[in-house]
Amino acid sequence: MTTQIINFNEPFEKFQQWFNEACNDQRITEPTAMSLATVSPNNCPANRMVLLKKFDERGFCFFTNLNSRKAQEILANSNVSLCFYWGVLSKQIRIEGVAQKVSDLEADDYFKSRARQSQIGAWASKQSSTMNQWSEFEERINYFEEMFRDKDVERPVFWSGFRVVPRVIEFWSEGKFRIHHRQSYELVGQGWHTKILYP
């Protein structure tokens, strides 16, 4: 197997290029959507779609209620994976890594950027908990709207974000007759090693 040590920023630069292409394509309604896979305490995997809110060479960030199932599973087992798939571009990016909580400052900054109703929703939602009827949620929304009337909505202590620090990033592009192209980057020590994979 042939591997090559490359510039540290290369996989992130390639991600930026592909991500920009997806963001600029009007056929893609939500280019930031990514599948997040976690593992439960009894080793059962689960995945769901979340939204990428920022990324750099440190990793890929999303935000959530810390009492949600995904957050609780991450806090128990930080090994996760992400997957972007832009079908109209015939491109996919898989990321394997470790999820770490973002700093309070990062969480505060992003929370402030959200629409006010989204901020209220963060307070009102008991994410992943059972709801007896929809009116319960509406009542909670009304309660927090009144609580924060005429003042800024502060970030709940149970709401924050995670940064997925990658150890593997794989780029896949579709080829004719299922002869696809796959390039994998793996973090080894302080450097990325790249290799080409059979489809």
Q: State the Cα–Cα distance between residues 39 and 48, nearest whole angstrom.
A: 12
**How far is it between the farthest Cα atoms of the chain?**
63
Catalytic residue (one of 27, 58, 69, 178): 178
**Nearest CA among 148, 172, 156, 134 for reference residue 67:** 156
Q: Is 178 a catalytic residue?
A: yes
DSSP annotation string for the chain: ---EEE-TTHHHHHHHHHHHHHHT-TT-S-TTEEEEEEE-TTS-EEEEEEE--EEETTEEEEEEETTSHHHHHHHH--EEEEEEEEGGGTEEEEEEEEEEEPPHHHHHHHHHHS-HHHHHHHHH--TTS--S-HHHHHHHHHHHHHHTTTSPPPPPTTEEEEEEEEEEEEEEE--GGG--EEEEEEEETTEEEEEEE--
Q: Supply the residues annotated as catalytic.
A: 178
